Structure 1
Amino acid sequence: MFREMRRKRQLLTEGETLDILLKGTSGVLSLLGDDGYPYGVPLSYVYHENKIYFHGAKSGHKLDAVRNCDKASFCVIAQDQVHPETFTTHYKSVIAFGKIHVVEDSAERRASIEILGRKYSPGLEEKMEQEIEKDDKILNMFVLEIEHMTGKQCIELV
């Protein structure tokens, strides 16, 4: 169902791929948007147990797209160094494919919010709890359940 990577020598190991997802702070979520146009939205995320969690509003383009089509991809770029003298870029990146939906289960929803909060605001649990309580009614949590994922690096880093 998913294509194999053509340049297999550039494939990152599973460990390297997971390391990029765990350390990354932003990526681009790609969905099928309005009128069949692709919709790529940059956002913060957290990777946990083969799932990627995002937060968002209770209405808007992202939510509409997720409701219309549950297939998505998510890309994280870990390294992007342009080398003009050699007409290349030294890069490392990850792309994940899977099904996305709004987290409806209250326990999973709360856990995913806390995991996201701890990633971006470590050591601020009390303030995080206040923010969660304040924004709980206006916040959606989305989960991308990964079906296929690859990490890739430029040939110069192999």
Structure 2
Amino acid sequence: MRRDEFAMKDPHEVEDFLNGMSFGFLGTTDEAGIPRVTPLNFAYVNGAFYFHGSRMGEKMEHLRRTPAVCFTVADEYALIPSYFSDPEMACPATAFFKSVTAVGEVILVDDLEEKALAMEALMKKLQPEGGYRTIDASDRAYIPRLKGVAVIKLAPQRMSAKFKFGQNLKPEQLNSVVEELECRGKHRDEETAELMCKYHPVPR
């Protein structure tokens, strides 16, 4: 990562972020080497990403041919206008966000226990209120469904996290942006201001 001040190296922060997200973008390549990005739901369990879907289709063809992939999860917190820190120049305009990018090779999961673990983790994201029968590999009702669904596992060979919240700002610029966010009061502005103060290397 070019800007090391934005790198998030705390594994607990990264895991909390991934566990709070349900959607990401999987990068694959076709037979001609042309990249393709697929938006899809995911679960993050024991240091690995899991995806599910049909055993057929373009995505699966790409993965069988070239298992090397890139997967990215991102969450934008706030747009930061240039005038928050500079009354004239456009250059400071930016966005504050969290993102994680993982690179590695995928495998198709065959073990029903692992499939059930991944699918149950995904259901807890998609339907945290419950209201469904727990996915269990020993449940006769689920066995044929677990056998039929394709579950893909990505154990990252390399993973980086970028949490950009103004860590590069001087203290006076930080204070200016925080005050503007608190005044603006849009959705997530207060949360963004708190994260700016949390992650900035110099206390406010």
Q: Is 1:53 aligned to 2:60, yes or no?
A: no
Comparing 148-157 with 17-26, which one deviates more in the overlay?
Answer: 148-157
Contact 2:24 2:42 in 1 (8 A): yes
Q: Is 1:11 aligned to 2:17, yes or no?
A: no
State the alpha-carbon separation in 1 of the partners of residues 143 and 125 from structure 2. Answer: 18
State the alpha-carbon separation in 1 of the partners of residues 109 and 12 from structure 2. Answer: 27
Unpaired segments ≥5 residues, structure 1: none
- The TM-score normalised by the length of structure 2 is 0.67
Q: Is 1:142 aligned to 2:139, yes or no?
A: no
Question: Per the alignment, in what secondary structure is the counterpart of residue 20 of structure 1?
Answer: helix
Comparing 136-145 with 39-48, which one deviates more in the overlay?
Answer: 136-145
Distance verdict in 2 for CA 1:134–1:108, change over 3 Å: closer
Contact 1:9 1:155 in 2 (8 A): no
State the alpha-carbon separation in 2 of the partners of residues 27 and 40 from structure 1. Answer: 10
- The TM-score normalised by the length of structure 1 is 0.84
* Aligned residue among 83, 87, 103 for 2:109: 103
State the alpha-carbon separation in 2 of the partners of residues 26 and 132 from structure 1. Answer: 24
User: Residue type of the partner of 1:101?
Assistant: I
Task: From the two aligned structures, give the one with the greater strand fraction.
Answer: 1
Question: Per the alignment, in what secondary structure is the counterpart of residue 75 of structure 2?
Answer: strand
State the alpha-carbon separation in 2 of the partners of residues 37 and 144 from structure 1. Answer: 21
State the alpha-carbon separation in 2 of the partners of residues 128 and 104 from structure 1. Answer: 16
Distance verdict in 2 for CA 1:90–1:58, change over 3 Å: same
User: Residue type of the partner of 2:52?
Assistant: H
Distance verdict in 2 for CA 1:90–1:27, change over 3 Å: same
CA deviations on 1:74-99 (whole Å, 9 max, x unpaired) are 11112342223342111111111121
Across the aligned residues of Structure 1 and Structure 2, the Cα RMSD in angstroms comes to 2.3
